[in-house]
Amino acid sequence: MLAALALTLGLPQAAGAAAQPRMEGKPLKATHKIHLSRPKLVNPTGHAEPKVHKSQGPLPTIPRKKLAELKAEAAKKPGVRKPEQSGKNSAKKLAPPPSQGSFEGLSQPCCVRPPDTHGAVSRGYFVEVTNGAGVGVYNKSDGSLLKNVSLASFFGYTAQEIFDPRVVYDKKWNRWVISAEAFQEDQDVQKVFYAVSTSSNPLGSWYIYTFDPPEEPGTGDFYDFPQLGYDQDAVIVTANIFRPGELGFNYIGSRAFGMAKADLYNGRFTDFRYFDVGLTGTVAPPIVEDDNANAFLVAAYPGADHLTLLKATGLGRSNGTIVQQPDVPVTNYFVPPNARQPGTDNVLDTLDARFQNASTQIGNQLLNIHTVSGGDYPLPKWYQINTDTSTVPSGQFGFVFEGGSSEDFNPSVAGSAVGGTAENPIGRMFFTWTSTDAFGAPHQARVKSGGRLATDPVNVAGGNTHAEASTFYDPSPDTVERWGDYSSVTINPSATSTCPVGNRAYVVNERQINTTDWGSRIGRLGFCG
């Protein structure tokens, strides 16, 4: 979700509420049929580097000026008592699923930020992708780095910088999928990339695909912040689209599509339907953990009193559809303030209340998390949506935070069916997030993880600490420093003698090496030994 820092965004809509008319039950329009390139079969190596766009920032789906105003307004709101501090709906500190160790991930000593840290775990490996540092393949047991390839070398492209990488491991098909896109070559050309491993071994060969997102000729549309999920038949992608205007780039809507696994995973030429999702804000696809024929997509738009829910059926097929569902009523949520750091006035960017990562979908339940305003501090809030009723029932939402004075953001969550029931098929939840504390028990940025059972209190407080910075982060002349943009939690697909499948997760999140350099930390935690 990188773009030139100086861009000023404007929208023909009221900030804080989606302007898209919600026409539930009506299929969305597929505006184009897209053809992927014929794949190249490669075994990527090397560290080729294109020109670097220094100090990039995100493209928000509300005007940048308005977003800055909302951030400033949120920072001035009186502190709201967190659930653990209040008598009503209080949450005792959980004993989190214990940390089972962590190891150092990829790092970038210069220039490219934020890292857009993302990763996934398989039976033997952990694969991490970041801006700048590229693709890293680790032995998941001992944390040894087995291979590191730049994004330019991995995809075989150096015309522009590649960014926004994501990775998933499809444990039923035993394939890895990595996605990313490049900055525009000109106003009509922007490359989007997909890589699919030919086996479960990420050290082996990959099919490399590419396409150029469709647009009206000469408009200069920019494809941004793609997210990556899948169901049993298709790899599912969402993205935000922006168009240059007099005041900079304008958000013109979001897009979604599915690519047939049967083609992608076998190195065959394929095409797909490209859906206009409208002005919904950033849309998160699901990772569907069962054989549900439908995949549900969800979006949050700051200042709203609902979540937008979409049902996709048959994505990757010629007759695939996406249909608007009834809005999901929730308590109003607002843009979070940026996170403060001890010892400096510089703050860390907490984004704009969007869902930053893919959802977990099990049965009729959809799980995701975003950062909202908790008064004068950022606070992650998770929801478990009943997709049959388009509701978030009582006891199926809560908050995640380290402590009473912490500032918590850049979250991700994944759910497991272990311990689930027919009424609530998500029996385990695992989280990662970033935490700072400037006032109560001061500390710099920490990589956090935690979890809950379906029967636990809804609010997750405390958590494990996998890494902690020794100084504040100040890599640029900006007063708001880029951080994260996303993180990742994935469920371990293999068992050990002491830990059945579904009870352990791997997390990866940005960490800070020193005042100017970012790194990452990969951690394990589980409800098991």
Q: What is the pLDDT of residues 453-483, one digit of tens each?
A: 999 999 999 999 999 999 999 999 999 999 9
Six-digit token string for 35: 């053809």
Half-sphere exposure in the Cβ direction for 506 (13 Å, CA): 30
4 belongs to a structural domain = no
137 belongs to a structural domain = yes
74 belongs to a structural domain = yes
Report the relative pairing of strands 397-401 and 407-416 from DSSP bridges.
unpaired
Q: What is the DSSP string of 131-196?
A: TTTEEEEEETTT--EEEEE-HHHHHT--SS-EEEEEEEEETTTTEEEEEEEE--SBTTB--EEEEE
Instruction: Give the Cβ contact number of residue 38 at 10 Å.
Output: 12
Low-confidence ranges of the chain (pLDDT < 50): 1-21, 55, 85-91
Six-digit token string for 309: 């829910």
- Please count the structural domains in the chain: 1
| The pLDDT of residue 271 | 93
393 belongs to a structural domain = yes
How far separated are the first and last CA of the chain, in Å rounded? 38
Six-digit token string for 507: 């997390």
Alpha helices in 208-329 (DSSP H): 261-264
517 belongs to a structural domain = yes
Q: What is the distance between the alpha carbons of residues 462 and 465, in angstroms, rounded to a whole number? A: 9
Q: What is the distance between the alpha carbons of residues 42 and 217, in angstroms, rounded to a whole number? A: 32
381 belongs to a structural domain = yes
Q: What is the distance between the alpha carbons of residues 151 and 56, in angstroms, rounded to a whole number? A: 17
**Residue-number span of the structural domain to which 439 is assigned:** 30-526
407 belongs to a structural domain = yes
Q: What is the CATH number of the domain that holds 235?
A: 2.130.10.10
Q: What is the reported pTM?
A: 0.93
178 belongs to a structural domain = yes
